[in-house]
Structure 1
Amino acid sequence: MGNYSRRRFLQGSLVLAASSSVSHYAFAEDKVPLWIPPLTAVGRGSPILLNARNVKKAFDGKQKVDAWGFNDSYLGPTIKMKQNDFLRLTYRNNLSEAIAINIQGLQANGEISGSINRNIAPQTSWSPIIPIKQSASTCWYHSDTIGRSAYQSYRGLVGMWIIEDEQSKKGLIPNKYGENDIPLILQDISLNYEGQQLFNLDKNQFLGKQLFVNGQRNCFLNVPRGFIRLRLLNASVSRPYYLSLDNQQPLLKIASGLGFLSQPQEIKTLLLVPGERAEVLVNLTQGQTVRLLAGKDRGLFDQVRSMLGMSDDLEDNLVVELRPQGLASAFAQQKPTLPDANLGLPLTPVKERTFVLNTQDAMINQRRFDPRRIDLVVKLDTVERWILSADQPTGFQLQGAKFLIEQQNGKRLTKAQLAWTDTVWVEGETRILVKFENQSSNSYPFIFGASNLLLADKGCMGLLVVQ
């Protein structure tokens, strides 16, 4: 006990010394305007180019360093499409290594979804024609290269993909991109003294020290007074986020990644796991500035402990500060209503499967990923119940299909909590009802497994054929 107490005393002394030596602006630096990724609204066969290339980025707000991105910036443009439309997409690889790109959440067949079997060699292109069949969704595109997806996504090969339908434009749901419909791409990044990204491939998870949102830290956004829609994407390699407002005001959850809820759900905290998307409304009709935080509000002591490596917490957990402007119109003050969630209940599973994720050894059901092996074959247009568990809490995701969360950590979800998704947090036993509506093949299979990209790269994933 004496040694333990002395160790704690020394740690406390280091914290006090560091806090006294760190300049004031390190914790009270001026906030910067949130950067909104440019919107590319396409349809009716319009062409679009995603050019993966080296870019320059000032992560520390000062010195520009090498990073990766699409077209001319770190992170890619937000692509927006409508249901029953299609586009001509060209991926161009101007990097020095091969890449594969997955549009996570896209409900399409395996041949055009991208992913691991669509490697694009340096200085080459791939140009699929992508039809959009699904209803309103928030998807994302990112690297899915075998063994390199975590590193390449971390470097900047990430972007948001929005799908609208006719119903999603109704019910007073905010839909003015960048004004009252805000994309928030969350990443945790570590930097060296020169402002360059640091990344450790040795472990099965990576937890960066600084929180970046749309590629920036410590951001604010001026927004119109009224209800604001936040489209949240956890693009971090391994870190889950527990999101809440600093004034204890509830968030109104309206959608998961692949569909709306039947009605808005008031929640104090939103858990967002790696790869997961969610949509929430924030009521700013009173005109007060609010801060969206990742975890509890933290002081100087917590931040210094993180800087000294005494915890895995973020140095600063501000996602964004929302500053309402002007007067709220009568229209803006009305609580939005949601379209039909299209749950299609009841769902009758034809088969039940069990999956155990081993996060220590990066395996599923005691097997490590093998690109030459098909792990599952399921029948098209059927529903299966998958029972998931893990040795430690972790995220799980599925490509090319969608599911409803039936039971999580022993608790059955109510109908009001249900929405279509492709990502779930596995803590205790989790049951999902998976609907297979898209084909894949031995040549172009779907993938399933850990949503922690580094854990997936190590082997915690499998291949799925739907036929």
Structure 2
Amino acid sequence: MTLLPTVSRRTLLAGLGGLALAAPALLRPRPAYAALTGRPFAQPALDAGRTEAGRRVFDLAVAAGRHQFLDGVETATTGINSAFLGPILSARAGDALRMNVANGLREPMTLHWHGLHLPAAADGGPHQEIAPGAVWSPEFDLRQKAGTFWFHGHQHRKTAEHVWAGMAGVIRISDNEEDALPLPRTHGEDDFTLVLQDRRFDPAGQMPYDANMHDRMAGMQGDVMLVNGLASPVLDADAPRLRLRILNGANGSFYRLHFADDRVFHQIASDGGLLGAPVAMRDTVLSPGERAEFLLDLADGATAQLRAEAFGAEAPVMGSAGIREVMTFRPKAARASAPALPARLAEIAPPPKATGETRSFMLSMSGMGMVGDFLINGRQYDHARIDFSVPLGAAETWIWENTTPMIHPIHIHDVQFRILDRNGRPPAPKEAGLKDTVLIGPGEKVTLRMRFDDYADPVHPYMYHCHILEHEDAGMMGQFTVV
């Protein structure tokens, strides 16, 4: 898949015309603020929970907070056990979990466990609403391979606003297969979690969710790049090799990650866990909702500057928003060499043999060009409509076709799927593992295979949607049950 797929002249002109209608809202004067750049890197607290009656229990309090992004300014935020963002929940495959989610806000909310295979009633989608002052306590078993997952707000029509304010956190899962590998895994020493987001601020240094027409079309983007709520932090590293667990937690920004010196780094895991083998690369794209794990070698003693070319959903028409400085890695000393990379990481089973239906999903827009409603199979999301039901145990084939001039990251709840092909071609090595979010460019047709095991519920649905949160809130979402 190319970063900026080719589009037709007709689509290009229509898209430019649509964006022109939004231009007055884009020409706001830049506010007078200064981001606090260059602070020491910090990551959310690692929370292993507590044990109660054989379950690992996590207590998560969602509440309003204040966080200092800018010099001398306290910005109103939402956090989970902190002022902005939430903790890193640490658990092991097979754990029995209980999540106590306390809503300290003045409005309803939900908390979705993104990437986890679990009962629909515990999924935390828009049907598991938590009233102000209430506590929601879903229980489920961790049926996952080791990997980096996350949780975030998913309130109906409010997902984008809640995540923008800070309602998100990370889930770090370990297992015996990953334990046996010679990989960095000591939190805060050679294993680091990076939640990448961007925000924009008003003249008072606040970041209200005030999406304009362009934001609703292209996804909400900001001009201040953040890592765990810090602008361009600096990490002084002791270890010769670092493991970076990176989440694109942005509302609408895609990031092409690379280093200023064009150095090679290695991807070792995608959304659902380890890849079969390390994949060498000089750059890679993460779309909203995607996670990946990378190994960065610092044995040469040279400073490594991580950068991101940021772009929104309209990138095929309008290009990128430019290069942002993400963070700086400063090794404390040069080493002779980093340890050898393992040649193999995990045994990746082949995609399951199809035993169920083949379903087609068309991404489209009503109206002209980039101005209109976001649709899946010609329909907007209806909270009361179940779009279809899947038989328990079926391995289905889902074919997604993007007829819009935009790029869309598609997320499917409950399952980790396998990408069979892109326009008839096999997936790239970095996409050959377990995935729950897939980027689909204009004109692309992507075929997925997934099995629906363990959990059936004729009442509570799972969701599928674009993970540009503004598109999701605008109706580019559907829902299904497993029966």
The bucket for the TM-score relative to the shorter chain is 0.7 to 0.9
SS of residue in 2 equivalent to 1:73 = coil
Residue 350 of structure 1, CA deviation: 2.9
SS of residue in 1 equivalent to 2:459 = coil
For residues 106 and 456 of structure 2, the distance between their equivalents in structure 1, rounded to whole angstroms, comes to 29
For residues 136 and 308 of structure 2, the distance between their equivalents in structure 1, rounded to whole angstroms, comes to 37
Aligned mate of 2:299, from 275, 279, 285 = 285
Cα gap change, 1:323 to 1:269, in 2 (>3 Å): same
Asked if 1:313 corresponds to 2:325, the answer is no
Cα gap change, 1:287 to 1:433, in 2 (>3 Å): same
- For 1:129, the equivalent position in structure 2 comes to 139
Aligned mate of 2:332, from 321, 325, 345 = 325
Amino acid at match of 1:76: G
Q: TM-score, normalised by structure 1?
A: 0.86
For residues 37 and 352 of structure 2, the distance between their equivalents in structure 1, rounded to whole angstroms, comes to 52
Matches within 5 A, 1:58-97: 58-97=68-107
- For 2:375, the equivalent position in structure 1 comes to 363
- For 1:463, the equivalent position in structure 2 comes to 479
Asked if 1:348 corresponds to 2:350, the answer is no
Cα gap change, 1:208 to 1:30, in 2 (>3 Å): closer
- Residue by residue, what CA displacement relative to the aligned partner does 1:271-291 show, whole Å, maximum 9, x if unpaired? 101111111111112121101
Residue 46 of structure 1, CA deviation: 3.3
Cα gap change, 1:417 to 1:370, in 2 (>3 Å): closer
- For 1:264, the equivalent position in structure 2 comes to 278
Amino acid at match of 1:199: Y
Amino acid at match of 1:466: V
- Residue by residue, what CA displacement relative to the aligned partner does 1:418-453 show, whole Å, maximum 9, x if unpaired? 110100001111111122224253432110011111
Amino acid at match of 2:114: Q
- For 2:250, the equivalent position in structure 1 comes to 236
Matches within 5 A, 1:435-446: 435-446=451-462
Cα gap change, 1:454 to 1:414, in 2 (>3 Å): closer
Amino acid at match of 1:66: A
SS of residue in 1 equivalent to 2:73 = coil
For residues 22 and 149 of structure 1, the distance between their equivalents in structure 2, rounded to whole angstroms, comes to 26
- For 1:13, the equivalent position in structure 2 comes to none
For residues 32 and 415 of structure 1, the distance between their equivalents in structure 2, rounded to whole angstroms, comes to 35
- Residue by residue, what CA displacement relative to the aligned partner does 1:141-167 show, whole Å, maximum 9, x if unpaired? 000000000100110100001111011
Cα gap change, 1:118 to 1:329, in 2 (>3 Å): farther
Amino acid at match of 1:370: D
Native 8 Å contact 2:275 2:348 kept in 1: no
Matches within 5 A, 1:246-257: 246-257=260-271
Aligned mate of 1:373, from 376, 379, 385 = 385
For residues 460 and 251 of structure 1, the distance between their equivalents in structure 2, rounded to whole angstroms, comes to 35
Native 8 Å contact 1:39 1:80 kept in 2: yes
Q: Which runs of 5+ in 2 are unaligned?
A: 1-29, 311-317, 366-371
Native 8 Å contact 1:257 1:420 kept in 2: yes
Cα gap change, 1:236 to 1:22, in 2 (>3 Å): closer
Q: Which runs of 5+ in 1 are unaligned?
A: 1-20, 297-309
- For 1:11, the equivalent position in structure 2 comes to none
Matches within 5 A, 1:53-202: 53-202=63-212
Matches within 5 A, 1:203-222: 203-204=216-217, 205-222=219-236
- Residue by residue, what CA displacement relative to the aligned partner does 1:307-359 show, whole Å, maximum 9, x if unpaired? xxx99625x611111111245487x5222454324324463353211111125
SS of residue in 2 equivalent to 1:171 = coil
Native 8 Å contact 2:300 2:334 kept in 1: no
For residues 200 and 22 of structure 1, the distance between their equivalents in structure 2, rounded to whole angstroms, comes to 15
For residues 55 and 356 of structure 2, the distance between their equivalents in structure 1, rounded to whole angstroms, comes to 37
Residue 397 of structure 1, CA deviation: 0.5
Cα gap change, 1:244 to 1:163, in 2 (>3 Å): same
- For 2:466, the equivalent position in structure 1 comes to 450
- For 2:440, the equivalent position in structure 1 comes to 426
Moved more, 139-148 or 443-452: 443-452
- For 1:7, the equivalent position in structure 2 comes to none
Residue 87 of structure 1, CA deviation: 2.5
Residue 368 of structure 1, CA deviation: 0.6
Residue 234 of structure 1, CA deviation: 0.7
Cα gap change, 1:138 to 1:318, in 2 (>3 Å): same
For residues 440 and 119 of structure 1, the distance between their equivalents in structure 2, rounded to whole angstroms, comes to 20
For residues 141 and 346 of structure 1, the distance between their equivalents in structure 2, rounded to whole angstroms, comes to 27
For residues 275 and 432 of structure 1, the distance between their equivalents in structure 2, rounded to whole angstroms, comes to 17
Native 8 Å contact 2:459 2:481 kept in 1: no
- Residue by residue, what CA displacement relative to the aligned partner does 1:53-76 show, whole Å, maximum 9, x if unpaired? 011111214211211101232000
Amino acid at match of 2:159: S
For residues 238 and 421 of structure 1, the distance between their equivalents in structure 2, rounded to whole angstroms, comes to 19
Native 8 Å contact 1:200 1:206 kept in 2: no
- Residue by residue, what CA displacement relative to the aligned partner does 1:373-393 show, whole Å, maximum 9, x if unpaired? 111211222222211122121
Residue 396 of structure 1, CA deviation: 0.4
RMSD over aligned CA atoms reads 2.4
Moved more, 394-403 or 347-356: 347-356
For residues 327 and 266 of structure 1, the distance between their equivalents in structure 2, rounded to whole angstroms, comes to 22
Q: TM-score, normalised by structure 2?
A: 0.84
Amino acid at match of 1:230: L
Native 8 Å contact 2:236 2:330 kept in 1: yes
Native 8 Å contact 2:37 2:231 kept in 1: no
Cα gap change, 1:219 to 1:131, in 2 (>3 Å): same
Amino acid at match of 1:123: G
Cα gap change, 1:385 to 1:57, in 2 (>3 Å): same
Native 8 Å contact 1:107 1:400 kept in 2: yes
